[in-house]
């Protein structure tokens, strides 16, 4: 057995290094209430033999690590403290310690420090995260395109038993680009085939023109969800992104889900609005999340459409490239202010350490993040990426994406 407490700098081995002579420990299984796992409190019984000073030094080292763990939980920025454990001779798993304490044994004979070279027993009690993390595992590096010609990364060999965060390094292989927003969605259920998540206007022109004004009662683009896909969708919320090759400033864009029966549209659900143009709008627009189909799962034969509409007090025209949809609950949004990313420079999302940054000539903490990206063990994990460059969208851009994760398990 390997059992260590460490913050990366100080390591106390509880499974054998002097003055430790013995240790009894086996991880507890976390409780689960309301679908949420609870932190785990457990105890390692450690036997130490040596001088009182040595024993006291070891105990103090453990207590200092626990103090650092508590400080971290109170908002400190010191490194996390982990318990590293392996039941056999293998690479250990780690679990973050939240707090802990050391107690002397209740048997006076096992705490007689006044003896010469005493043998004592202590209880090392900690509260840790409910999961264990394995060693960092590379998911490889692949190139993705910013659009229908290949924006999917497939991570289908994720191990463990729990969803795990991922570190994605999004490296620019081409000339400098000033990216701004990145959207990364995980089609965990592999609902969409290679390019099924891109939807196009059927039987209509992608370019529309309106005169005078237009409102949301005017369906500018009606995008029929393919029958097979519609039959597989179960009423979950799906994020909707729309890419335009041209769109005027100051139009308000909205996505809705509608059922069209005999040419008569029936609004099922509408999302919020985004304004295009100025500092807010752009050619790639995140139009929020909608239930698809709005009725929930109705099986084969389901027919519904995604409708895009504008509110504008003026006439104009716009050209829609496509709409991309992805499950909403597994989406990560990254945003940087538009700094130029040169060749081989990168945007890094490190879900393992819960940080994001720009990796340029130096590392810059200039990334905002919303949402959470998790990889699901035993699933396909098809990551769909889109990114814009401020108000513009360029489908010809590419990124080289390297993925790393630590498998998460409840038990090791």
Partner 1 sequence: MAQFTVRLWDRNNLPIATPLRLRPLRYAWADVGGPETAEIGLEGSPADLVGALRWLGGSVRIVGEDGTPVWWGIVSEASFVADGMEYGLTLEGMANRVAVIYASNGASAITDWEEDTRSTALYGNIELIHSLGNATPAQAEAAAVSILTQKAWPRRLVRTAQGSTAGGRLLCIGRYSAMAWRYYANSIGRVAFEGEKEGEAILGWGFASSQFVGFHGKVKRICQLNCAMTGLRANDKIVVSGSTSNNGTFTVVEEAGIDGQVIYDGASGVTFAVTDDINDSNDLLNQFTVGEMFRVENTASNDGFWFWRTVGPEACTVRPNTVANEGAGGDTKLTQGNSVKVAETLTQESPVIGSKFVTILAHGQKLDQSFTVADGGTWVVGEVAVWVRRVGSPGDNLKVELCADSSGSPGTVLDSATVTGSSLPTRSVKLQVLLNRTATLNNNIYHLVVSRTGAASPTDYYLLSVDEEAGYSGGQLRLWTGSAWTARTVDADLHFEVWGHRETTAIIAEIATVYIGGASIRTAAGVYDRMYRAGTKTALDEIERLLPAGTSLGARLLAMVSVDNILIVEAAPATAAARWRNGRFTNLQGQPLARGLLPVGQWVALDVPIDDDRAPFSPLWLARCEYDVVGDTITPGFAEMSVWQVGELDEG
Per-residue tokens: 122: 């202590």
Cis status, amide bond into 293, omega within 30 of 0: yes
Contact region for partner 1 (CB under 8 A) — 23-31, 106-114, 283-291, 402-410? 283-291
**Identified binder of partner 1 from the candidate list 29, 107, 205, 280, rule CB under 8 A:** 280
202 or 337: whose CB is closer to partner 1? 337
Establish if 77 lies at the interface with partner 1 (CB under 8 A): yes
Establish if 315 lies at the interface with partner 1 (CB under 8 A): no
Establish if 286 lies at the interface with partner 1 (CB under 8 A): yes
Contact region for partner 1 (CB under 8 A) — 100-108, 144-152, 270-278, 388-396? 270-278
Establish if 15 lies at the interface with partner 1 (CB under 8 A): no
Residues facing residue 289 across a β-bridge: 239
Establish if 357 lies at the interface with partner 1 (CB under 8 A): no
Establish if 38 lies at the interface with partner 1 (CB under 8 A): no
Cβ atoms of residues 61 and 10 within 8 Å: yes
Contact region for partner 1 (CB under 8 A) — 111-119, 128-136, 151-159, 287-295? 287-295
> Is residue 73 within a helix (H) or strand (E), and if so which, with residue range?
helix 52-73
Establish if 333 lies at the interface with partner 1 (CB under 8 A): yes
Instruction: For tokens 């040419």, name the residue.
Output: 263
Angstrom distance (rounded) from CA 64 to CA 56:
12
Cβ atoms of residues 367 and 207 within 8 Å: no
Contact region for partner 1 (CB under 8 A) — 51-59, 99-107, 199-207, 328-336? 328-336
Cβ atoms of residues 221 and 206 within 8 Å: yes
Establish if 338 lies at the interface with partner 1 (CB under 8 A): no
Min. distance of Cβ 291 from partner 1 in angstroms? 4
SS3 for 25? coil
The residue count for binding partner 1 (CB under 8 A) is: 41
Instruction: For tokens 């191990």, name the residue.
Output: 159
Establish if 98 lies at the interface with partner 1 (CB under 8 A): no
Establish if 269 lies at the interface with partner 1 (CB under 8 A): yes
56 or 234: whose CB is closer to partner 1? 234
Min. distance of Cβ 181 from partner 1 in angstroms? 11
Residues facing residue 294 across a β-bridge: none
Instruction: For tokens 């999961």, name the residue.
Output: 131
Establish if 391 lies at the interface with partner 1 (CB under 8 A): no
Establish if 31 lies at the interface with partner 1 (CB under 8 A): no
SS3 for 110? helix
Establish if 289 lies at the interface with partner 1 (CB under 8 A): yes
DSSP state of 7: S
Which whole-number Å values give the CA distances from 355 to 105, 154, 368, in the listed order? 41, 23, 10
Min. distance of Cβ 197 from partner 1 in angstroms? 16
**What is the sign of the dihedral through the CA atoms of 251, 396, 371 and 255?**
positive
Contacts (Cβ under 8 Å, ≥6 apart) of 291: 235, 236, 237, 238, 257, 268, 269
Establish if 394 lies at the interface with partner 1 (CB under 8 A): no
Contact region for partner 1 (CB under 8 A) — 2-10, 91-99, 145-153, 269-277? 269-277
CB crowding 70-89: b at 16 or more within 10 Å, else e: bebeeeeeeebbbbbbbeee
Instruction: For tokens 């106390």, name the residue.
Output: 12
Binding site for partner 1 (CB under 8 A): 36, 71, 74-77, 215, 235, 237, 239, 252, 268-275, 280, 286, 288-289, 291, 293-296, 311, 313, 328-329, 331, 333, 337, 365, 368-372
């Amino acid at each position: 057995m390997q059992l260590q407490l460490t913050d990366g700098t100080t390591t106390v081995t509880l499974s054998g290094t002097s003055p430790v002579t013995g240790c009894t420990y086996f991880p507890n299984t976390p409780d689960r209430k309301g679908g949420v796992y609870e932190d785990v409190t457990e105890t390692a019984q450690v036997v130490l033999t040596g001088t009182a000073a040595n024993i006291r030094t070891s105990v103090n080292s453990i207590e200092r690590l626990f103090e650092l763990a508590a400080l971290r939980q109170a908002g400190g920025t010191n490194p996390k403290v982990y318990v590293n454990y392996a039941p056999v001779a293998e690479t250990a798993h780690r679990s973050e310690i939240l707090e802990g304490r050391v107690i002397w044994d209740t048997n006076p004979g096992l705490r007689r420090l006044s003896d010469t070279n005493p043998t004592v027993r202590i209880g090392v009690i900690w509260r840790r995260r409910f999961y264990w993390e394995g060693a960092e595992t590379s998911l490889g590096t692949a190139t993705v395109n910013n659009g229908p010609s290949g924006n999917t990364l497939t991570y289908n060999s994720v191990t463990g038993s729990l969803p795990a965060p991922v570190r994605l390094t999004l490296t620019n292989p081409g000339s400098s680009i000033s990216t701004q927003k990145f959207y990364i969605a995980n089609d965990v259920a592999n609902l969409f085939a290679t390019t099924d998540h891109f939807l196009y206007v059927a039987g209509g022109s992608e370019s529309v023109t309106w005169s005078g004004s237009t409102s949301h009662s005017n369906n500018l683009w009606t995008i029929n969800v393919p029958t097979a896909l519609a039959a597989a969708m179960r009423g979950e919320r799906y994020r909707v992104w729309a890419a335009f090759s041209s769109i005027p400033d100051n139009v308000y864009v909205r996505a809705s889900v509608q059922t069209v029966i005999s040419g008569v549209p029936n609004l099922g659900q509408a999302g919020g609005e985004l304004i295009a143009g100025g500092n807010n709008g752009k050619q790639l627009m995140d139009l929020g999340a909608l239930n698809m189909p709005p009725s929930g799962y109705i099986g084969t034969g389901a027919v519904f459409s995604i409708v895009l509409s504008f509110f504008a007090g003026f006439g104009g025209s716009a050209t829609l490239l496509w709409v991309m949809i992805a499950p909403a609950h597994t989406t990560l949004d990254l945003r940087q202010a538009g700094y130029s990313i040169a060749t081989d420079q990168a945007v890094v999302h490190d879900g393992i350490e819960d940080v994001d940054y720009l990796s340029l000539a130096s590392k810059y903490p200039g990334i905002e993040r919303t949402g959470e990206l998790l990889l699901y063990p035993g699933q396909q994990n098809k990551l769909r990426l889109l990114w814009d460059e401020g108000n513009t969208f360029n489908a010809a851009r590419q990124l080289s994406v390297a993925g790393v994760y630590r498998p998460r398990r409840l038990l090791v």
